[in-house]
Structure 1
Amino acid sequence: MTITVALIMAITMIVLLVLGVPICIAIAISSLVAGANALDFNMMLQTGAQRTFTGISVFTLIAIPFFILAGNIMNQGGIAIRLMNFARLLVGKIPGSYAHTNSMANMMFGAISGSGVAAASAMGTIIGPIAVKEGYSRNYMATVNIATAPTGLLIPPSNVLITYSLVSGGTSVAALFLAGYIPGILWGLSCMVVAYFWAKRLGYKGDSQKITASLAIKVTLDAIPSLLLIIIVIGGIVAGAFTATEGAIVAVVYSLILSIIYRSITWKALVQIYADSAKMTGIIVLLIGVSSIMSWVISFVNIPSLVGEMLNGVSSNPIIILLIINIILLIVGTFLDTTPAILIFTPIFLPIAIQCGLSPVEFGIVITFNLCIGTITPPVGNILFVGVKVAQTTIERVIKPLIPFYIVIIAVLMLCTYVPQISSFIPELCGYEATLPK
């Protein structure tokens, strides 16, 4: 029965997606159709309704709309330009200075806003035109911007990690946040290495502007209020001063106050920000609700055990099994957006990853890392499309230059997979149990 249900679910979803059915509807229909082969259809409908309600009746889930709102406020609240100036202060003298500034700014702004798309849009719009005027290739800047924008999905606060926490059965959000720092920073730094050698080959030099002590102090002081948001929110969550949900509300209030102080946001813009945030929240909550049906069906018919047996049939070596999981997730990420992919594949692969020696926290970083790569690859990479659009170039012109970045990013992914202490080091240092008992 397990194989039959799994095949029905997979085939139904693929057919619906090919027909252009929205992902949330495709998940709901495929789950109900597959589940009806294990239960009476009427009972399956009742169970589906109950699971949908249960899936969204989680206190932690409230954090997502507030982090979305905070990110949208930051995107228009004058925070991006201050972080860009601070990044330029840090790395402006390195050959290819604008590319490194873009990378550092993406890491900081993406982390604060929790959105790779917002980072790619903001930094591509601010830094790209300046760099082009200074003689930088439009495609070079677009490529660097695209490659580094997803770092904010790993460096906390991250809505993706909150979603994973929910679907994985309550993995500590604070531990996941802390676990994302080193992998996210390694992603950004590895891309900066590629950008450096590329800049040397193209003859791009460092920033010629003389940085005086007074300018450095001014730029730093301007950036400190924005950077404090990370310290306040993440520090408060880790210290137990407030929950992830309360931290998200703090982020909204803080970013709104900053935007008002900077006088960079209007009442009209604020109304649009609320509308956009509500729309995005509705999409994510609906996805989480219907994915709860799929997660229940997957568990009820024991699909993880089936997948585990199939992988063990290929090899009993954990190294090979984890490699296969990574390959599958990399392929999935090119076709599915991050949130639905997390919701669908976490229940399938998490039990297998635990058997291979990874903790839920460590696997959370691995699956998120994999799916973040999908945001910068065709055919549906949303960050890829945004990065290309703001740079006024084409996908065909950036795909080849992106290949070296793909290589180093995947190398970092493999490092995080097979050296899980990279993810668990900071959580364990802060007192969170991130590894399995030996």
Structure 2
Amino acid sequence: MDMFLLNLSYVLAYYYNYGELENVLSSPFSVLLGVFNGAWLVLAFIIKPYVFSRVQFSTSHLELRFLTLFCIHGAIVSLFITATQGYYFSRLHLILSYGVFFILGSTWRVLFVWGLKQYRLKGYNHRNYIVVGGTEKAESLTKFYELHPELGMNYLGYFGKNESSPLYQGSYQDVVNFIENHDIDYIYCYGGDLDTKVFKEIADAAIEQDTEVKLLPDYIDIPNKLDVEYHSYIPIFRYLPQTFYQTREAYLKRVFDILFSSSVILLGSPLFILIGIITKLTSPGPIIFTQRRTGLMGKPFTIYKFRSMKVNAEQRHSLGKVDDRITTWGHFMRRTRIDELPQFFNVLIGDMSIVGPRPLAGYDIEILKKEMPEGYRLLVSVKPGLTSIGQTVYGYASDATQIKERANIDLTYEPSLKEDLSIIFRTIKVVFAASGK
């Protein structure tokens, strides 16, 4: 459906822009259409945006994944046009294509999820499950599915030691016979109650019946993430702090950083030049301000900004709006965040990410190391970002209290492409509203 809507949007925008369809499949438009389709297919295979569990299959999850694919696809097409110098393509045609596609793709997802929920509420598209072991966990699971009938899950019984449990069907030894005689889609097993031999018998029988086995772990109350890695066939759970993230997510985040920063630098170069000229004309001194900051795992790097302060200003922490070192133009750049634009080069070379905790200056490090050392260690365990939750919610910090408050906000960040897109849109809102501090 996405491929159909993508091509439909392209054709509708072409007709609106050119008033005919005779040449829509003629060169160079056929090449551009091929890039549109090819890029979407490649991204679909890499990102796998159409793989969902029943719990994840909601409007918000679908829209977030669509938005991720949509943005990266737009960046790829922009890079293609820039690399091939295809400036003869109409910008209006491209903007309309993406505008129509976004509306149609988003609407389709909302309608599909709504229709599927109604379909399940009428008793169709249901899946049957049983729970083996873990009485309390079985009750919690069944209550969850009872509260969400739109997920279409039918509970067929509990197997274990507690014979008083609702829908008790027998002991562990009765599970194999039950799944052989009933249509079971999922078996939820609580590992704490099962020995290896019994679990293997259930798992082997499940494979023969094309039934999926899911494990209910003992680690329900652990607030941070558990990551799984395999040593040959042995699954090993790694207990990770909140700020660490999986290799696949980190890879996607880096790919997104490269595509996004490249697109901004290429397409925004006229704006960069204009800001540089205004900075030079409004106050004497260099256009670009450089400073050493602390990056990933405490490694120092040079950060780039459009200069917002007077030359040879006293080296001390910013005092915000009342700081007399900041030029008039500098105040505007800080409110709109455009002084940060050169940091897209930091992102491109890998010192920073688009989204992450703000890179720490010397004064910030002294405060955090002294007053919240654990928070400091967690902050530097993630690559610093051009924007962050703390930057959009709080803004610049001018004293020790504000530094700690912003750091606590940044500590809530969980690196992921979905979270990054959300923060990017918040940042865009701050830029256009000129509401930055």
TM-score (norm 2): 0.26
Larger relative strand fraction: 2
Tell me which structure has the larger Cα radius of gyration: 2
TM-score (norm 1): 0.26
Higher relative contact order (CA 8 A, sep 6+): 1
Larger relative helix fraction: 1
